[in-house]
Amino acid sequence: MQSPPEVLPAAAPVVQSPLEVLPAAAPVVQRPLEALLAARPVVILDGALATELTRRGADLLDPLWSAKTLVEQPGLIRAVHLDYFQAGADVATTATYQATFEGFQRRGMDRDAAAQLMRSAVRLAMEAREEFWAVPANREGRLRPLVAASIGPFGAMLADGSEYRGHYALSDDQLRDFHRPRFEVLARSGADLLAFETIPCLREALIQDGSRNCEGEDIGACASALQPYSLIAAIGMNCTHPEFVESLLRRMREHTGKPLLAYPNSGENYDAAAKVWRGNPHLRSFADQSRSWYDAGARVLGGCCRTTPQDIKAIYATYGVQHLSP
């Protein structure tokens, strides 16, 4: 059985302890997501960054998308991260999804400047976390949140919606050459996790880990294939329609023992040509729908495009440790 096309950008592995995979590894290897999962019934991710920036007035009609704001309005990114922590998010995802050497080069930035911007995105999330954590009342019932450095797929750099289609006609070497330099910058950026988001095919997900060509589209097969990689802390799907999430999770659960994550979009569809979201959000509230994702095995929950701090607040109200009966 193949997944419907809407759910192809589905394999979204989260790699923990990014330094562990680099030759110059730091001596201390932590497994921060595992630690959170051991202490919490559900780890709560943040919601949308880019569409939330737009909602607050940022103009992202640009091939750099949310990375444009890194250059122009870094304070706004920091404010959105802070709002998500306050809404209950245990993890902030940085504004690096569409931040690539290629994209910044098109703006006349050299590699050093591009790497600086990527690092600055991680710093903004870390600053927001420290600001949040510095207030004693914020720490009540909470664990110190994590920062996940977002790594978008090759298709995100093309800025034409390719990440929802895949099939880039690139060799494994070309995909690896695209990912490696940014991976190395972000792995050394101080982020706690690397979040590979909206990866449209298993082949690209595997290349992140230095393995070989193994393209496949069935989500169960994707889960099986990612199972052996001990550095992958959790797998699941993002930016898909909420209605597909439960069945995708159930299929993945049959093939993996790894923690499952789900952070779908609001249920609207992205029109890549016009660069706008069309349609209506799913009628049931996000937190309400998330119960079926929890029942299907997901323990890391959040939102992708068009979700807001209100959605995360509702998830926190449902799954925050003080709200969940044993």
Window 128 to 157, contacts with Zn ion (CB under 5 A): none
276-278 and 91-93 beta bridge pairing: unpaired
Using the minimum distance from each CB to Zn ion, give the nearer residue, 58 or 305: 305
Q: Please, how many CA atoms are within 13 Å of residue 207, restricted to the half-sphere of its CB? A: 24
**In terms of CB distance, is 298 or 304 closer to Zn ion?**
304
**Minimum distance between the CB of residue 2 and Zn ion, rounded to whole angstroms?**
22
Question: Residue 307 Cβ, how far from Zn ion at the closest point, in Å?
Answer: 8
- 8 Å CB contact between 314 and 286: yes
Phi, psi of 193 (to 5 degrees): -140, 160
- Kindly state the tokens that stand for 160: 């034409």
Distance of CA 297 to CAs 8, 206, 311, Å? 20, 23, 20
Neighbours of 323 (CB within 10 A): 12
Q: By rule CB under 5 A, what string of x and - marks binding of each residue 207-246 to Zn ion?
A: --------------------------------x-------
Nearer to Zn ion by Cβ, of 150 and 265: the residue is 265
Token look-up 């950008």 returns 9
Looking at the Cβ atoms of 150 and 189, the one nearer to Zn ion is 150
Name the residue nearer to Zn ion (CB basis): 235 or 305: 305
Q: Which stretch binds Zn ion (CB under 5 A): 139-147, 214-222, 229-237, 298-306?
A: 298-306
Among 305, 312, 314, 315, binds Zn ion (CB under 5 A): 305
Residue 219 or 304: which CB sits closer to Zn ion?
304
Minimal distance, residue 50 CB to Zn ion, in Å: 8
What is the distance, to the nearest Å, from the Cα of residue 141 to the centroid of all Cα atoms in its chain? Answer: 24
Angle at alpha carbon of residue 308, lines to 303 and 314, rounded to 5°: 75
User: What track of x and - describes contact with Zn ion for positions 256 through 295 (by CB under 5 A)?
Assistant: ---------x------------------------------
The span of 7-15, 111-119, 286-294, 302-310 binding Zn ion (CB under 5 A) equals 302-310
Which residue shows structure tokens 């919606």? 161
How many residues touch Zn ion under the rule CB under 5 A: the total is 4
Give the Cα separation of 221 and 23 in Å (integer).
30
The four Cα atoms 237, 271, 307, 295 give a dihedral, to 10 degrees, of: -30
User: Maximum distance among all alpha carbons in the chain?
Assistant: 55
Q: Which of 304, 312, 314, 315 binds Zn ion (CB under 5 A)?
A: 304
Q: Which is nearer to Zn ion, 96 or 265 (CB)?
A: 265
* Alpha carbon distance 236, 251 (integer Å): 11
| Shortest separation between residue 321's beta carbon and Zn ion, angstroms | 27
The least CB distance from residue 10 to Zn ion, in Å, is 12
Supply 265's token pair.
Answer: 């979009």
Scanning 136-144, 186-194, 296-304, 309-317 for contacts with Zn ion by CB under 5 A, the matching segment is 296-304
Among left, alpha and beta (phi > 0; psi -120 to 50; other), residue 267 is: left
The residue among 17 and 93 lying less far from Zn ion, judged by its C-beta, is 93
Which residues of this protein are in contact with Zn ion, per CB under 5 A? 239, 265, 304-305
